[in-house]
């Protein structure tokens, strides 16, 4: 019996089935048991010749008549290496290969079981019939019944009046009925005609013709539709179609109907080869009924290993207009907040022991918000060459060299959303571009001992700028621009980093603990160089935090500015660790910089330099007060003015599974106010400080109903920026229902509201828009209320 027709899978739209318990299994078999593991000596016998298969006959009584027919009576069995046939009475005609089974007929193969009161099968022609079959699938877990199964060949079987469910409950919550199902096993294709999906005995989905995979392998066909509604698009319905082109190629076509905007067509193509992979995705709307124009988006990613340590990749993304993501953002995703859409392409090489290099080009599409201020586009890098050399513990020394050659191109102003905000005299389509060469080589000598370390480090940073002007009759001079076409800078950077770790036995909340005391000193010396004539391509003020407090520059990015420094950073951390497990119960940290002279280098000419002798205080605390409650706090505040410049705080309480409450507070002062507190009194000043409160929770209301939600409120803007509210209902078996509403800001003055319903049927899939990504990303600690379904194996019903 070479056929595998009894490995039946009846599902909708490529849905996967789950384990099904046989109806006549004893009650103890359905009790929770330890998870089975596949023993390594269990293996499937494939491509075994029929002549090499021995048949073993078992019965209470065994006879042979005058026609050479073997008659097995009473607990009859025919066992081979690939299958088992059972029945009360079995007649086997050796001359024709015909097998007749009467009474409790059963066939077991590949962990799949088919039962019927009688069956007829020819082992030579591999044809036959089974009356009133019941089937259980080992590898896929589905179960069902039919009035008759007609076996036409090894590859083709037809089931009549089929009822199928992937739900393992004795009384399945969902099932599918179809008058006729044809199974083509070689093609891994099942075709159901006039299939109806029932939920709680109520029909909820009908399809006149349905193609689905028989096994777990991919199969071309329609996927489950998704639907929802939003204030931007109105009622939405998508019906994806999946193309299984080849084992390493596939594609999905996704029509998306939006009542307000029209029909959008989306497509995705994925490929995987020897040493390369990638995907292409795009959408196209011929005419947006709201915006009265065509709208589109495409993305193309590719990665390729060329051998010899050389790799190539590119990531290209573009949209038709600034408002695309605000209007077409997928539900639950934060695409509406995109401001820069990056594209890149390049090569990397890491074939040498101490050297590596890369050559990349970067381009950015800036998405403007017409209701907010103009967003200055980023410079394109066309291209950027990076060469790195590093060797550690070279006679005790660590040597590292980072070298860049970057061609910067200013995007030409062409937006019609804002007036050009640039310097006086700079008009649209005028720009200044440039090439920056930079090299930073450093040598460190770490001395590390038990309980302490000292790391002296010396480096030299060299830069050169060559500028070009476009659209000008003479060189452009402005506050942010160069005064000559060629500029250079050489700066030594010296630092000394040292720290110690002390430990002692202690007690915390009555529990034995180990307390550590970890002081750290970091001295930095950088001489002053006038850098006011150097252009600024990709440099900005870095946030002051614990990591940056021990860094070599207060500016971040490409280091178009390197701050002069003569300063000492003092840090102290103490931790309480469980004596037995080492789990960190409490940590307290503090740090501050001490300046020995004023800072002269600023980001832009006219900016006010630092004159304080001490920096803001940095403090942080994190504590696991109990096994279920944790808190955290961090702040940056000015010790003289007592102003807080940054603050974060929050807690999370998880008293039990599927129950969590968390809250957080975030504040960040406008960086311009930190450097110049009096800027708030200047004409036309806009405060860009950020202050927000967030609350999120998942909580059981009953043993079946769960509430979930999140609310973000901007204290600075005095409005809610995001609201999520939902209910989940866990059914008795195999189903879960969800209703979720989300309202989120898509611009400074505009918000979108969306709502959807989802019915999740275990072993089949989900009807409606899938909210799981949204819930996991936005609700800290969220857990799905649907219990996991264990994977089935071929040996699940091994005898």
Position 195 in a domain: yes
Q: Report CA-CA distances (Å) from 380 to 361, 422, 529, 722.
A: 8, 18, 27, 33
Helix, coil or strand: residue 675: helix
**CA–CA–CA angle 649, 652, 655 (5° rounding):** 160
Q: Count structural domains, the chain.
A: 2
Position 112 in a domain: yes
Position 187 in a domain: yes
Helix, coil or strand: residue 672: helix
Among 186, 219, 252, identify where a domain stops.
219
Provide the pLDDT for residue 329.
Answer: 67
Among 158, 191, 219, identify where a domain stops.
219
Averaged over successive runs of 10 residues, the pLDDT of the chain (799 residues) comes to 28 31 34 52 59 74 83 84 82 80 82 83 78 75 83 83 82 88 74 86 82 64 76 85 88 92 94 95 93 94 94 95 80 62 95 94 88 81 96 96 94 63 51 88 96 97 86 47 75 97 91 94 96 87 87 91 96 94 93 94 83 91 92 91 89 93 93 75 80 94 92 88 89 85 77 80 65 72 73 57
Provide the pLDDT for residue 360.
Answer: 97
| CATH, residue 125 | 2.60.450.10
Provide the pLDDT for residue 265.
Answer: 95
Q: What is the DSSP letter of 614?
A: B
Position 535 in a domain: no
How far is CA 52 from its chain centroid?
Answer: 50
Among 160, 187, 219, identify where a domain stops.
219
Position 786 in a domain: no
Q: Could you tell me the pTM of the whole model?
A: 0.76
Provide the pLDDT for residue 565.
Answer: 95
Cα separation of 522 and 499, whole Å?
A: 9
Residue span of the structural domain in which 736 resides: 698-778
Position 503 in a domain: no
Of the CA atoms within 13 Å of residue 754, those in its CB half-sphere come to: 28
Give per-residue burial for 196-234: e unless 16+ CB within 10 Å, then b. Answer: ebbbeeeeebebeebebbbeeeebbbbbbebbbbbebbe
Provide the pLDDT for residue 26.
Answer: 33
Cα separation of 214 and 15, whole Å?
A: 10
**All residues at 6 or more sequence positions from 139 whose CB lies less than 8 Å from its CB, including other chains:** 7, 110, 111, 112, 215, 216, 792, 793, 794, 796
Find the length of the chain: 799
Provide the pLDDT for residue 664.
Answer: 95
Position 107 in a domain: yes
Position 376 in a domain: no
């Amino acid at each position: 019996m070479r056929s595998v027709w009894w490995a039946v899978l009846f599902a909708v739209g490529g849905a996967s089935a789950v384990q099904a318990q046989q109806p006549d299994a004893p009650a103890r078999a359905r009790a929770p048991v330890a998870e089975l593991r596949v023993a390594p000596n269990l293996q499937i016998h494939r491509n075994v010749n029929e002549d090499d298969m021995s048949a073993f006959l078992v019965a209470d009584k065994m006879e042979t008549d005058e026609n050479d027919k073997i008659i097995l009576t009473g607990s009859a069995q025919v066992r081979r290496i690939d299958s088992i046939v059972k029945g009360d009475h079995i007649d086997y005609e050796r001359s024709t290969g015909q097998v007749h089974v009467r009474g409790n007929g059963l066939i077991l193969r590949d962990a799949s079981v088919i039962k019927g009161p009688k069956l007829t099968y020819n082992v030579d022609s591999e044809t036959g019939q089974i009356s009133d079959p019941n089937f259980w699938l080992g590898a896929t877990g589905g179960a069902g019944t039919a009035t008759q199964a007609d076996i036409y060949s090894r590859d083709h079987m037809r089931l009549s009046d089929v009822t199928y469910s992937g739900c393992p409950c004795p009384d399945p919550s969902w099932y599918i009925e179809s008058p006729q199902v044809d199974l083509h096993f070689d093609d891994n294709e099942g075709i159901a005609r006039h299939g109806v999906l029932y939920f709680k005995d109520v029909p909820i989905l009908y399809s006149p013709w349905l193609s689905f995979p028989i096994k777990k392998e991919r199969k071309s066909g329609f996927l489950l539709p998704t639907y929802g509604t939003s204030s931007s698009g109105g009622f939405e319905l998508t019906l994806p179609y999946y193309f299984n082109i080849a084992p390493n190629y596939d594609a999905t076509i996704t029509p998306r109907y939006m009542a307000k905007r029209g029909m959008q067509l989306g497509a995705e193509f994925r490929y995987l080869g020897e040493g390369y992979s990638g995907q292409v995705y795009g959408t196209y709307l011929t005419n947006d009924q709201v915006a009265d124009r065509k709208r589109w988006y495409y993305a193309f990613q590719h990665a390729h290993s060329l051998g010899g340590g050389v790799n190539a990749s590119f990531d290209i993304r573009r949209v038709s207009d600034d408002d695309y993501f605000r209007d077409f953002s997928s539900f639950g995703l934060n695409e509406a907040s995109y401001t820069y859409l990056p594209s890149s392409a390049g090569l990397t090489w890491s074939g040498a022991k101490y050297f590596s290099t890369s050559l990349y080009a970067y381009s950015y599409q800036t998405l403007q918000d017409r209701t907010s201020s103009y967003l200055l586009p980023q410079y394109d890098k066309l291209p950027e060459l990076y060469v790195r050399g590093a060797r550690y513990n070279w006679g005790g020394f660590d040597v590292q060299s980072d070298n860049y050659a970057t061609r910067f191109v200013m995007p030409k102003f062409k937006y019609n959303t804002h007036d050009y905000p640039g310097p006086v005299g700079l008009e649209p389509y005028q720009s200044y571009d440039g090439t920056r060469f930079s090299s930073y080589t450093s040598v460190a000598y770490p001395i590390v001992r038990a309980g302490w370390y000292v790391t002296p480090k010396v480096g030299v940073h060299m830069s050169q700028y060559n500028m070009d002007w476009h659209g000008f009759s003479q060189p452009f001079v402005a506050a942010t621009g160069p005064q000559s076409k060629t500029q250079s800078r050489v700066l030594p950077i010296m630092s000394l980093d040292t720290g110690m770790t002390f430990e002692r036995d202690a007690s915390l909340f009555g529990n034995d603990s180990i307390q550590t005391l970890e002081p750290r000193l970091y001295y930095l010396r950088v001489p002053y160089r006038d850098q006011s004539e150097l252009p600024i391509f990709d440099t900005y003020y870095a946030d002051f935090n614990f990591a940056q407090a021990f860094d070599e520059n207060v500016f971040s990015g490409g280091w178009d500015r390197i701050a002069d420094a003569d300063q000492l950073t003092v840090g102290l951390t103490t931790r309480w660790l469980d004596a037995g497990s080492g789990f960190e119960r409490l940590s307290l940290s503090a740090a501050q910089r001490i300046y020995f002279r004023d800072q002269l280098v600023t980001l832009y000419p006219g900016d006010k330099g630092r004159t304080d002798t001490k920096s803001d205080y940095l403090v942080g605390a994190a504590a696991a007060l109990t096994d279920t409650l944790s808190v955290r706090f961090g702040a940056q505040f000015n010790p003289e003015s007592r102003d807080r410049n940054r603050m974060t705080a929050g807690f999370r309480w998880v008293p039990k599974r599927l129950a969590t409450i968390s809250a957080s507070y975030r504040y960040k002062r406008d960086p311009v106010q930190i450097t110049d507190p009096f800027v708030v009194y200047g004409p036309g000043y806009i405060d860009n400080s950020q202050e927000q409160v967030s609350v999120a929770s998942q909580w059981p209301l009953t043993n079946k109903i769960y509430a979930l939600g999140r609310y973000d409120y901007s204290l600075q803007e005095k409005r809610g920026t995001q609201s999520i509210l939902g209910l989940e209902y866990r059914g008795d078996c195999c189903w879960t229902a969800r209703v979720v509403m989300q309202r989120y800001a898509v611009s400074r003055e505009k918000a979108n509201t969306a709502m959807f319903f989802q019915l999740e049927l275990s072993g089949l899939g989900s009807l409606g828009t899938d909210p799981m990504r949204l819930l996991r990303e936005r609700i800290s600690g969220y857990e799905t209320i649907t219990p996991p379904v264990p994977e089935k194996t071929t040996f699940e019903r091994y005898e």
